Chains A and B, each alone.
Chain A
């Protein structure tokens, strides 16, 4: 008995060390089952080209979902990320086209995208921490504002890049893997470390679980929440870079539409509680993959695109129900 306890203890602690909380097991199993089912259902699924495409598609929303994971763990929500993609994308392309030297232009463009994303995140964060507006309402408002500004700046027209090197960012490969996928994976590792191995990560969980306890523990609650929104904004910046360079343009009316829902769905499927306080980056990565593969399968199997929302919605409901049952 005693030995068994220490063994399970040791197991769970080593699992913990990997950051693979046991809550991640359910989505992981779901992913494996989905992979097997998909490869049986369609012969094209395991095709390298198809898989590469799925991964690339996943990485745009996946990068954002990682950022949103931080906000949700801190007890907030960010509905503005989709609109922010469009606005950051527009600013990025303006900056890119304004600099003549192509290499220089890309450097400036990247900085503008990450910087403006982070800045919009700070704006969201300030509304929540200083303005004391509920995150849901604050980001609902900025969702509308960001999209509107993007449309106004461009007169609702597509902005096209004139930089010859730019498409290589989102369209390029390294070791056979698309660059956006690399960005997604590297970001996931960095985010995991930030969440589990730094003071910020631990404090964020404490704030999300009980802000009052956090305050009494000398944690700067507002700074931590502000940080989470800033991270989400910077992730939107990264995603905007990948997306607009892949398309070599950005359309202020179409870019990032409903990305906020995909991102939140990925977070929820990954087992992060919407009530905050706990979560995992790997869960979010798996959640994003599950959503991407389902989309892909529905396309491959020729299911009406109008039904895709229904399937996605059902998956979210199942994920939440499973979580809820486990908590009881």
Chain B
């Protein structure tokens, strides 16, 4: 086998008395794709930060090019060929593709920018990635998947030898994920080593050669991906037997809670019709940008509908703001937890009571009553936090999401719209969420789930609507709910080969 690009020798990291990572030994070879798995807080991101020089190791060292590094700073790490593609892209939206690709490493000729060369090189790199992205296109006009492509191109231009992908697929739809995987394989074929961090076991299984599983800061498994099936991966991550992933579906459905009739929104949505019953979990599937979120936001009064009718408990009602929606016991969990869901600088209590504050006011806000209610949710949803007065920005993704759910539950909603309810949270917490959501449904609440994860839609929902280009194109029940059917409708194709073509077209 070839010489490793990096060797990690007994790498460890502690923050004060807190050991977050210990004794990591790993050889990373050129052209290898290593999957790194672990629940939130298992130490994945700490490991990445040690490799990319953001953190300094407390013990151990990194070996690169025959040299030992006890300490590494981001600049050195980058110079040594380690590149990270972050979850949140670091692109300047006002600049063009080639300008972003060469940001910070502009090609100059006699002190002035050499645009022609940069454009040309960008075109070449895009060609290697088999992408037709125009170097002149402004970043703000790109889709999420295209932005990711720009990040990858940037790494290639930089002559990276190790590329770290931190949960790159959370923001992508299934066809886009396929395109990304092709790109990663092409990267790997050029001899680049790839570290792939994901919550999604299937992706790791499909893409990676070897897998490293972390739990509580330690390596619990390191082997060829072929030697493990998804279930044993999950078991090793969590460290306990997982009860059935999805809770039993229940046929019990009550009367209609929400009815949407001929809903239209400018050119985004047209003629959307559906009914949601009490006790039902209704799935809304479709590609990113198909109009799923817009349906939710229009119902919530965040967008003003062009035409159509919304009925709650059979009564037509006008909802012009989220405030109106809340008053009708309708609550919405946005897909963007940090940007639209929680106030990151507020503590748990303040976030949980933000919608329901009125209830805690008898003349003045009763802080003690607020705290008691927050304690209740802390118990009921098993929110892990040092204190209820901790800023939610400091919590892990899964715990933030629980706080977000508590915030909605505190208005005692009858209808819940959950947009990507398990985005960016680990397997164990995901399962908790599935049980919670099912539990809420069996209490008689009506639940609309929007999700890009087909597995989740299929496993969780009683009925699935597929959205494409702002219309509902399919209404699937029971055994009709299959991955293939949903994809066929979502991509607007009639045969499986069409689906893959549609997938490629997205790049």
Contacts and interface: CB of A to CB of B under 8 A. Distances in A.
A12 B321 CA distance: 36
B343 A198 contact: no
Contact of B365 (A196, A212, A216, A219): A196
B345 A212 contact: no
A216 B302 contact: yes
B147 interface: no
Interface in B379-417: 386-389, 407
A210 interface: yes
A213 B339 contact: yes
Interface string A12-39: 1100110000000000000000000000
Contacts of B371: 13
B334 to A, nearest CB: 6
Interface stretch (A156-164, A201-209, A262-270, A316-324): A201-209
A198 B323 contact: no
Nearest to B371: A13
Interface stretch (B37-45, B201-209, B349-357, B487-495): B349-357
Interface in B311-357: 321-323, 325-326, 332, 334, 339-346, 350, 354-355, 357
B326 A218 contact: yes
A216 B341 contact: yes
Contact of B343 (A5, A9, A213): A213
Nearest to B331: A218
B492 to A, nearest CB: 31
B361 interface: yes
Interface in A270-299: 277-278
Contacts of B343: 205-206, 209-210, 213-214, 277
Contacts of B339: 210, 212-213
B387 A12 contact: yes
B364 A193 contact: yes
B507 to A, nearest CB: 30
Contacts of B340: 212-213, 216
Contact count band on B: 20 to 34
B358 interface: yes
Contacts of B322: 215-218
A293 B340 CA distance: 43
Interface string A208-231: 011011111111100000000000
Majority SS at the chain B contact face? mixed
Interface in B37-75: none
B367 interface: yes
Nearest to A277: B345
A135 B321 CA distance: 25
Nearest to B323: A218
A199 B322 CA distance: 17
A209 B345 contact: yes
B341 A198 contact: no
A194 to B, nearest CB: 10
> For chain A, what secondary structure do more than half of its interface residues adopt (helix, strand, loop), or is it mixed?
helix
A136 interface: no
B341 A213 contact: yes
B354 A206 contact: yes
A311 B424 CA distance: 49
Given A199-B361, A202-B350, A202-B365, A216 B332 contact: yes
Contacts of A196: 365
A152 interface: no
Given A5-B387, A206-B354, A210-B339, A218 B344 contact: no
Contact of A197 (B342, B365, B387, B388): B365
Given A202-B357, A213-B341, A13 B325 contact: no
Given A16-B389, A206-B354, A213 B361 contact: no
A197 B364 contact: yes
A205 B389 CA distance: 15
A277 B339 CA distance: 14
A9 B364 contact: no
A202 B355 CA distance: 11
B345 A199 contact: no
Contacts of A214: 343
A218 B325 contact: yes
A213 B387 CA distance: 23
A13 B407 CA distance: 20
A90 to B, nearest CB: 37
Given A16-B389, A198-B365, A218-B322, A213 B342 contact: yes
A202 B357 CA distance: 9
A198 B354 contact: no
Contacts of A203: 357
A213 B355 CA distance: 11
B354 A202 contact: yes
Given A218-B321, A218-B323, A218-B355, A13 B341 contact: no
B365 to A, nearest CB: 5
B238 to A, nearest CB: 25
Nearest to B366: A197
Given A197-B365, A216-B341, A218-B323, A209 B346 contact: yes
A198 B346 contact: no
A213 to B, nearest CB: 5
B52 to A, nearest CB: 19
Interface in A225-252: none
Contacts of A13: 371, 389
B439 to A, nearest CB: 24
A278 B386 contact: no
A197 B323 CA distance: 21
A31 B323 CA distance: 43
A105 to B, nearest CB: 35
A204 to B, nearest CB: 12
A12 B349 CA distance: 14
B345 A217 contact: no
A13 B347 CA distance: 11
Among A210, A212, A217, A278, the one with the most B-chain Cβ atoms within 10 Å of its Cβ is: A217
A199 B342 CA distance: 17
A196 B350 CA distance: 11
A210 B316 CA distance: 32
A16 B345 CA distance: 15
A219 B343 CA distance: 13
Interface of A: 5, 9, 12-13, 16-17, 193, 196-199, 202-203, 205-206, 209-210, 212-220, 277-278
Top-4 shortest CB links A-B: A218-B323, A197-B364, A218-B322, A216-B340
Given A209-B345, A218-B326, 16 more contacts: A5-B386, A9-B389, A12-B387, A17-B367, A193-B364, A202-B350, A203-B357, A206-B343, A210-B344, A212-B340, A213-B343, A215-B322, A216-B302, A218-B325, A219-B354, A278-B345
19 contacts: A197-B365, A199-B358, A199-B361, A206-B354, A209-B346, A212-B340, A213-B342, A213-B343, A214-B343, A215-B322, A216-B302, A216-B322, A216-B334, A217-B355, A218-B321, A218-B323, A219-B354, A277-B345, A278-B345
